Chains A and B, each alone.
Chain A
Amino acid sequence: MAAKDVAFSIALIIFSIYIIVTSLGLKYNTSFIDGAGFFPLIVGCVLLLLGIVLLYVGIRCGGVKRLQEIMNGSTILAFIKSDETVRVVVLVVMMVIYMYVLIGWLPFIAATAIYIFVNYMYLGACKKCWIIPGPVMAVIISVVAAIAIYYGMKIGLGITMP
């Protein structure tokens, strides 16, 4: 965790400096104190301070040494190739495609059915049931779920759907 703390605190320090610089550049009417940038400036300063403390704690707990150990080609490659990382990346990519591309381009039912089906195939979620093969089960569940969500929300609950 110490290595993670060091990495996170460095990112936090950079981010808080960005907040401080941006806040100082924001326009104000009468005085800076009641301007839009005053409170974000305080928040940025507090985050900077907390980031420095976290960095100090991380360094004291051997975070830099641990980070140096981790930050070599073979460990990074092993991390990238690990099952967990690959699964999370693939799931996130599927979500991005679904929410940024499919929704708005295709009707909700089609977009959702495709997303659920692709997920099931990737995760190996649907097994053979009775005489119905797994992929066919995946198609059935995906389409039924998409239709149920759409009409359940739209007609059943009067919610506007994408």
Chain B
Amino acid sequence: MAEQFGYFLSAFAPVFGDGNFLLIALAVLLGLVVGAIPGLTGTMALALLINFTYGLSQNAAVGFMLGCYVGAVSGGLFSAIMLNIPGTPNAAATALDGYPLAQQGKGGKALFGGVVASCSGTIVSCIIMMIATPFISSIALRFGKWELFLLALFGIMICGNLSVDSTPLKGWIGGFLGFFCAMIGVDSIYNGQRFIFVDGLTSGVTLIPALIGMFGIAEVLTVLQDKTPVEINRSMGSIFPDKEEFKEIMKPVPRSTLIGCGIGAIPGAGEDIAAWLSYSVGKSSSKHKEKFGKGSFEGLSCSETANNACIAGAMIPMLTLAIPGSTQAAMFLAALNLHGIQPGPMLTFNSPNFMYIVGITIIFAALVMLVLAFVLVKPMVFILQMNRKILMPIIVALTVAGAYASRSTIFDIKLMLVFGLIGFLLRKFGIPLAPVTLGLILGGTADESFRMALTQGGGSVIPLLSRWMGDILIVVVLYTFISGARKTVRETRAQLKAGKEAQQASE
């Protein structure tokens, strides 16, 4: 315990030293602005802003990315409340109550409430993360290759199950397509070549250009195909809520923080699921259910607390098992790899204070976000009016710079465009991108771990079944598969029923 406290204290210098705190503040500002603009998701913000970390030191890069992460997740609430267009998918539940509040002339209060809830959720979940991570790390250290494979499999199974606006079946397809993309190139054990379609793919699919493409180019195409202009409600009213309204805002914070942190810790689940689940739980347990969806501060707080609590939650599996809890965490993981930091069970040995650096940075970023959001409440209205047609081509140029910077090859720019088009098409066919990303990240680990585990088992899985941790994971994977399959069957039946009813109605 004393040892951990020592690591905690030693984490302050890297966060605040060398002017890093100013960089974090700048990153939060950038994240808030990018996250607020409709069409620019948090993941896209991180994909674009990863460019800025190439020339930074390790500590500065970590601070910058986390600052962007916190800012981008929170920024979505501005457009959700003022435009009824969630700046990021995780702010979709926020729009349900935020926009009606803005229409009632309480836009300022709604923004205040959302920002306070976001900040509270982030800070409390960070404390939970700093307590939980060492325990989970100690368990993760006992994992062998078999368990690592099962964990990767569990990651894409659960991510597929929880994908919003899609069936588990399509989520799993996305996950395994991601696995396939990770197989491209020379294999890590015997250097055997596989699926090298063009020369540049010998070393495999480079993660950062692929992610920038899927979340940058695909997003630009999605936004620009739509002609709909944006209407903004300019009247905001007072910013500070009264005592009763403030109570409503703070009431769901503890419960929503736990939900957000818990969902964040599930691989690939992400902020949007946390926000919707917290909103739904909040609505069913509230004394004022009738206000939900019509302008409830409680409803607004439920979604905003949970989506921000997810940030720290997503860090738990990422730091301990190198499995990102959300697509934004996947971007952060890519940035860490870029700067030579390898998250996973050994992180607690190699950099024992790193988890505290992450925790303190997130808490500081949340406090900066609180201050900046108040300052930006009024100017943000003008930022939201920015013409997206002017912004998007500039973003394409930024994605080009970002893709090229990772290895300084033109091939990576072309690869990014290909993945952008793949991402756009997959979206059109209803395949969620989060499991694809997770598959791409975990595919290499799954392949190597599975084959090495089989070698350990003499070519059979039977000897591996005597490992109790592996057995628990097998049960969890099977349960995830069965629940996903049942959900798919249920949704298909509902779809069939709706189709028949529509047919009968037309007859």
Contacts and interface: CB of A to CB of B under 8 A. Distances in A.
Contacts of B499: 2, 61-62
A103 interface: yes
A125 B389 contact: yes
B192 A50 contact: no
Given A103-B400, A116-B393, A146-B397, A159 B495 contact: no
Interface string A34-78: 111111101110110011011001001110000000000000000
A96 interface: yes
A26 B194 contact: yes
Contact of B221 (A39, A92, A103, A104): A92
B225 interface: yes
Contact of A54 (B169, B396, B496): B169
B410 A104 contact: yes
Contacts of A96: 417
Interface in A77-116: 83-84, 87-88, 91-92, 95-96, 98-100, 103-104, 112, 115-116
Given A33-B454, A162-B404, A87 B224 contact: yes
Nearest to A123: B389
Interface in B165-217: 169-170, 172-173, 176-177, 179-180, 183, 187, 189-190, 192-195, 217
B183 A40 contact: yes
Given A47-B176, A88-B221, A160 B405 contact: yes
Interface string B414-452: 101100110010001111000000000000001100110
B397 A161 contact: no
A99 B417 contact: yes
A57 B397 contact: no
A133 to B, nearest CB: 16
Given A34-B189, A40-B180, A50-B169, A161 B194 contact: no
B190 A29 contact: yes
A155 B148 CA distance: 42
A87 B405 contact: no
B401 A36 contact: no
B374 interface: no
Interface stretch (B50-58, B99-107, B360-368): B50-58
A51 B221 CA distance: 27
Contacts of A27: 192
Contact of B394 (A38, A40, A124, A149): A149
Among A39, A47, A98, A161, chain B packs the most CB atoms within 10 A around the CB of A39
Contacts of A159: 51, 54-55, 401, 405
B287 interface: no
Given A40-B183, A83-B227, A125 B451 contact: no
B169 A115 contact: no
Contacts of B183: 39-40, 43
Among A33, A34, A43, A96, chain B packs the most CB atoms within 10 A around the CB of A43
Nearest to A125: B389
A61 B496 CA distance: 5
Contact of B451 (A38, A54, A158): A38
Given A28-B190, A54-B169, 8 more contacts: A43-B180, A46-B176, A47-B176, A61-B499, A84-B225, A91-B220, A115-B397, A157-B54
Interface of A: 1-2, 4-5, 7-8, 12, 19, 22-23, 26-29, 31, 33-40, 42-44, 46-47, 50-51, 53-54, 57, 60-62, 83-84, 87-88, 91-92, 95-96, 98-100, 103-104, 112, 115-116, 119-120, 123-126, 141, 145-146, 149, 153, 157-162
Interface of B: 51-52, 54-56, 169-170, 172-173, 176-177, 179-180, 183, 187, 189-190, 192-195, 217, 220-221, 224-227, 387, 389-390, 392-394, 396-398, 400-401, 404-405, 408, 410, 413-414, 416-417, 420-421, 424, 428-431, 446-447, 450-451, 454-455, 459, 488, 492, 495-496, 499
